[in-house]
Amino acid sequence: MADNTFKVSIITPERTFYEGEATMVEFNTVEGQIGVLPKHIPLTTVIAPGICTIHEAESEKKAAVHAGLAEVLPDKVTLLAEIAEWPDEIDLERARSAEDRARERLANKDDGVDVLRAEIALKKALVRQDLKA
């Protein structure tokens, strides 16, 4: 491992989504977007739905990451994600339908509507669409 890279692991309940070396990784937290470089101070944070960008030495990879926990160490970043998807794994029509359903639930707030759940569903649908764009 070179001084300008660090290990990155993205793990979901179903699989090891990604393992590799990066020069930088960017992802969303509940407090905003974070960019991690080698030798970052140790940090544990909650992941918010968003696009995770992995900057490798010669390329860049993007994935949708939907909630979880992140552990940042000086030589390694581990994302324990609820869901992680590459662009080619996303069904754009399904994401658009999910957006429509979530917007409808939010527009027609009844006593039975879980607003937080609808807002999260909307965010996930929009992240998926942004990644496919």
pLDDT at 12: 97
pLDDT at 114: 81
What is the location of CATH 2.60.15.10 in the chain?
6-87
- Distance, CA of 96 to CA of 54 (rounded, Å): 25
Q: How confident is the model at residue 5 (pLDDT cuts 50, 70, 90)?
A: very high
Burial 39-78 (b: 16+ CB within 10 A, else e): ebeeeebebbbbbbbbbeeeeebebbbbbbebebbeeebb
SS3 sequence, 77-112?
Answer: EEEEEEEEECHHHCCHHHHHHHHHHHHHHHHCCCCC
What is the location of CATH 1.20.5.440 in the chain?
91-132
Please, what CATH class does the domain formed by 91-132 belong to? mainly alpha
Q: Which CATH architecture has domain 6-87?
A: Sandwich (2.60)
pLDDT at 105: 86
pLDDT at 14: 95
Q: What is the pTM (predicted TM-score) of this model?
A: 0.86
Which DSSP state fits 12?
-
Residues 6+ apart with CB under 8 A from 130: 51
pLDDT per position as a tens digit, 28-50: 999 999 999 999 999 999 999 99
pLDDT per position as a tens digit, 9-21: 999 999 999 999 9
- Distance, CA of 65 to CA of 83 (rounded, Å): 6
Q: How far is CA 117 from the centre of its chain?
A: 17
pLDDT at 107: 86
pLDDT per position as a tens digit, 65-115: 999 999 999 999 999 999 999 999 999 999 999 999 999 888 887 767 788
- Distance, CA of 54 to CA of 18 (rounded, Å): 10
Statement: residue 55 has pLDDT above 70:
yes
pLDDT at 2: 58
- Distance, CA of 88 to CA of 70 (rounded, Å): 24
